[in-house]
Amino acid sequence: MRLPFRKTLDNITAYKPGKPIEDVQREYGLEHVDKLASNENPLNCSPLAIEAVRKAAANLSLYPDGNATELKKAIANFYGVKETEVMPTCGSDEMVSLLAETFLDPGDETIMADLTFTSYIIAARMVDAKVVIIPLKDFKLDLDGMAEAITDKTKVIWLCNPNNPTGTMFTEAELTAFMAKVPENVVVVYDEAYVEFVTNPDYPKDSYKLYQKYPNMIVMRTFSKVYGLAGLRVGYTLANEEILNNVNKIRKAFNVNRLAQVAAIAALKDQEFVEKVHKVNKEGKEYLYKSFEEMGIKYVPTEANYIFVDVGRDCNEVFVELQKRGVIIRPIKETFVRITIGTMQQNQRLVSQLKEVLGK
Ligand X SMILES: Cc1ncc(COP(=O)(O)O)c(C=O)c1O
Closest CB 53 distance from ligand X, rounded Å: 17
Among 92, 237, 261, 347, binds ligand X (CB under 6 A): 92
The three-state secondary structure class of 360 is coil
Among 97, 154, 166, 222, binds ligand X (CB under 6 A): 222
Is 267 near ligand X (CB under 6 A)?
no
| Contacts (CB under 6 A) with ligand X, residues 12-31 | none
CB atoms inside a 10 Å sphere around CB 181: 13
**259 with 232: CB under 8 angstroms?**
yes
Is 224 near ligand X (CB under 6 A)?
yes
Query: Where does this chain touch ligand X (CB under 6 A) — which range of 136-144, 222-230, 266-274, 352-360?
Result: 222-230
d(CA 311, CA 120): 27
Query: Where does this chain touch ligand X (CB under 6 A) — which range of 3-11, 86-94, 133-141, 345-353?
Result: 86-94
| Contacts (CB under 6 A) with ligand X, residues 231-250 | 235
d(CA 98, CA 256): 14
Closest CB 207 distance from ligand X, rounded Å: 14
The residue at minimum Cβ distance from ligand X is: 91
Closest CB 160 distance from ligand X, rounded Å: 5
Q: Site size for ligand X, by CB under 6 A?
A: 13
Could you tell me which residues come within 8 angstroms of residue 209 by beta carbon, excluding any fewer than 6 positions away? 79, 81, 219, 238
Per DSSP, the residues of 184-252 read TTSEEEEE-TTGGG---TTSPTTGGGHHHH-TTEEEEEESSSTT--GGG--EEEE--HHHHHHHHHHS-
Sign of CA dihedral 95, 203, 231, 257: negative
d(CA 32, CA 21): 9
Residue whose CB is less far from ligand X, 113 or 193: 193
Is 191 near ligand X (CB under 6 A)?
yes
Is 305 near ligand X (CB under 6 A)?
no
- Site of interaction with ligand X (CB under 6 A): 39, 91-93, 117, 160, 164, 191, 193, 222, 224, 230, 235
